[in-house]
Amino acid sequence: MNGASKGFVECRNIGVVFGSGDAQTEAVKDVSITVQPNEFVSLIGPSGCGKSTLLSIVAGFAHPTRGVATLDGVEIRKPGAERGVVFQQYSLFPWLTVRKNVEFGLRMAGVPSSKRISSARTLLGLAGLLAFENHYPDQLSGGMKQRIGIVRALATSPQVLLMDEPFGALDTQTRAVMQEILTNMWQQFRISVLFITHDIEESVFLSDRIYVMTSRPGRIKAEIQVPLPRPRTAAMTDTKEFTDLVHQLKSLIREESLAAMGSELGPEGVAGFGMEVGPGGVNNIL
C-alpha cells in the first residue's frame, strides 16, 4: 500500500456492552463499516444509537466488547497521530494562543519550533484565521474556534479525520460556511473522514457515503451512496437529486427515532395524547 492510499478504516462486527448485571447496556451490535482512503463517510442515526461510541473506538479512546477496528489493516488499540479528532465542544486549550493550539500536536511529536510555526501559519492561512494567530480562544467566535479545532486536528497530517457533530453548536449560517470550508479542505488534504451528524442535509452535502444506524442497540440499517459531483456547491442543495436523498434519509431516520421513543411514549404519546388543550393552555388538563 503506498502513501497516497493510506487511511483505510475498517470496523468488523463491532459489539459494545457497557456495565454489567442489571445495569448492562448494549450500545452497539454487530456493526461493520469501512472508510476507504480519501473517502468522506457519515454516520447518522437516532440519539443514543452508539455513533459516538463507534467513533471513540476508531479514535482509540474506547475498546469494543466484540469485533475489531483496524486502520490500514492494523488493529486500533490506542489514540495515534495518524487519526485527528474533532468534537462538538471546542476542545482548545484556553491558556494557549491560537497558533500554539495548532502547534500542540507537532510539539508533542517533537517537530522543531521553526517548522511548527510555519506549518501552523500555513494551516491558519488556509482556514482564513492567520490574523488571529496571537489571540486566545476566548477572544474568538464559536465558528472560529471550531475552524481552529479542525486545523489543529489536521496539523499532524493525519490519514483519518474523525469528527463528532463538529458543527452542532453553530448557527445555521455559520454552519453552512463551515461545511463549505470543510469540503474544500478535505479535497486539498485527501484524507479519509468519518463524520457524525444529526443534520441530514449536512451529511448529504459532505459525504461520499452515509451509514444509517438503527436505534439502540445500534446496527447498520442502510448504506447510501451520494452520487453528487465534486466539488460540492451550495447551489446543489436545491437539485432534485439532493432533495430526494434527503427525503429518503429522513424517512429512514424517522422510523428509527419512532422505534427508539415509541416504546417509551406508546401510540398515544406519539399522537400527542390526542388531548385538546384549549385556550386555557396546559392548566386546563392538569
Ligand X SMILES: Nc1ncnc2c1ncn2[C@@H]1O[C@H](COP(=O)(O)OP(=O)(O)OP(=O)(O)O)[C@@H](O)[C@H]1O
Residues near ligand X (CB under 6 A): 18-19, 25, 27, 45, 47-53, 216
Question: Among ligand X, Mg ion, none, what does residue 53 contact (CB within 5–8 Å per kind)?
Answer: ligand X
Buried b (16+ CB within 10 A) or exposed e, 106-130: beeeebeeeebbebbeebbebbebe
Are 204 and 174 a contacting pair, CB within 8 Å? no
Does 52 engage in binding with Mg ion (CB under 5 A)? yes
Question: Among ligand X, Mg ion, none, what does residue 18 contact (CB within 5–8 Å per kind)?
Answer: ligand X
Are 131 and 177 a contacting pair, CB within 8 Å? no
CB of 54 to ligand X, least distance (A): 7
Q: Which residue, 179, 282, 190, is CA-closest to 237?
A: 179
Nearer to ligand X, 96 or 262 (CB): 262
User: 85: which strand partners?
Assistant: 162
165 in the Ramachandran plot: left (φ > 0), alpha (ψ -120 to 50) or beta? left
CB of 3 to ligand X, least distance (A): 32
Question: Among ligand X, Mg ion, none, what does residue 47 contact (CB within 5–8 Å per kind)?
Answer: ligand X
Residues 64-103 that bind Mg ion (CB under 5 A): none
- The secondary structure of residue 70, as a DSSP letter, is E
Nearer to ligand X, 151 or 260 (CB): 260
Nearer to ligand X, 51 or 145 (CB): 51
CB of 266 to Mg ion, least distance (A): 26
Give me the sign of the Cα torsion angle 247, 248, 254, 257.
negative
Number of residues that bind Mg ion (CB under 5 A): 1
Q: Is beta strand 192-196 parallel, antiparallel or unpaired with respect to 40-44?
A: parallel
For 66, the grid coordinates are 466484540
CB of 198 to Mg ion, least distance (A): 9
CB of 199 to ligand X, least distance (A): 11
In the complex, which residues of this chain contact Mg ion (CB under 5 A)? 52
